[in-house]
Amino acid sequence: MILELQKGIIYGPVNSRRLGRSLGINILPPARKVCPFNCVYCQYGWTETHVARADDIPDLPSVNAVRSALKNALTELPTLPAYITFSGNGEPTLHPEFDKIVEEVITLRGQLAPGAKTAILSNSALVSDPLTRASLSKLDMRIMKLDCGSRKTFTKYNQPCPGVDIEAITEGLVQLSAVHIQTLVAAGGRGNLNPENIEEWIERLKRIKPVSIQLYTLDRGYPSNQLRPAGREDLNRIQGQVQKERIVIDVF
């Protein structure tokens, strides 16, 4: 079953398998998915607004709206979250004022929830941009997506906008410090579970030198009918291949 999109700026807290109690921040339009990718496995379904820039999107929340929503949430919550996490209806770094919003979130965290950390779940599409990397570097935890190694698989699996290139993404991740990589593997005709792609993916990981890999498979709904979850044996095999390169990898 495809999940409903977030209808507001703040959602949760949710119990994340990776972050624990996490308060989500959606800085994209309500109930509309805006993303440079159109991933065949996305839990929110197909991308409605498929763009690599969001400068002209009229219904993005303002910096003030995000500040106010987060302040209200942190003031009213009976238990503060472990993480304040940028995620939501697509790719957070698309917001043209992403850096200002990051600064506001960090300030409010320090004032109202000093024990919480800041994080982002990003698909890495814009990580080749130096200003985006500078903003990401201000957060405590950067969980960045890299599902594929080969361009062919990247094109059919993540379905990026024109101009979004896997090599540029890889180089951007190389230049981003203390990065955690998240990878969803799936079998089927539109999947990324093929030996050539996995080998090239591992080669990219060796260049990136991430803090850790978070490997998982389909657990919620997905829009393509040409996918199926990877088996536990598949996940264990990939984990073993990555561990041979002395890279930390957890299977979820």
pLDDT of residue 31: 81
What digits encode the pLDDT tens for the residues 171-211?
999 999 999 999 999 999 999 999 999 999 999 999 999 99
Contact yes or no for 74/112 (Cβ under 8 A): yes
Q: In degrees, to the nearest 5, what angle opens at C-alpha 229 toward C-alphas 157 and 173?
A: 45
Let me know if domain 10-251 sits in CATH 2.30.110.10.
no
Instruction: Give, as one character, the DSSP assignment of residue 90.
Output: B
- Cα dist from 159 to 50, 72, 94, 126, 225, whole Å: 10, 37, 17, 15, 15
Provide the mean pLDDT of the chain: 96
pLDDT at 168 exceeding the cut of 80? yes
pLDDT of residue 15: 87
Domains in the chain: boundaries: 10-251
Strand order in the sheet with 20-26: 10-16, 20-26, 83-87, 117-122, 141-145, 179-184, 212-216, 249-251
What digits encode the pLDDT tens for the residues 82-135?
999 999 999 999 999 999 999 999 999 999 999 999 999 999 999 999 999 999
d(CA 93, CA 144): 11
pLDDT at 159 exceeding the cut of 80? yes
pLDDT of residue 84: 98
d(CA 33, CA 45): 9
pLDDT of residue 189: 96
- Going by pLDDT thresholds of 50, 70 and 90, the confidence category of residue 158 is very high
d(CA 80, CA 74): 7
pLDDT of residue 3: 87
Please count the CA atoms within 13 angstroms of the CA of 52 that sit on its side-chain side.
13
What digits encode the pLDDT tens for the residues 3-20?
899 999 999 998 887 788
pLDDT > 70: percent of the chain: 100
pLDDT of residue 35: 97
pLDDT at 56 exceeding the cut of 90? no
Average pLDDT over residues 129-143: 98
What is the widest separation between alpha-carbon atoms in the chain?
50
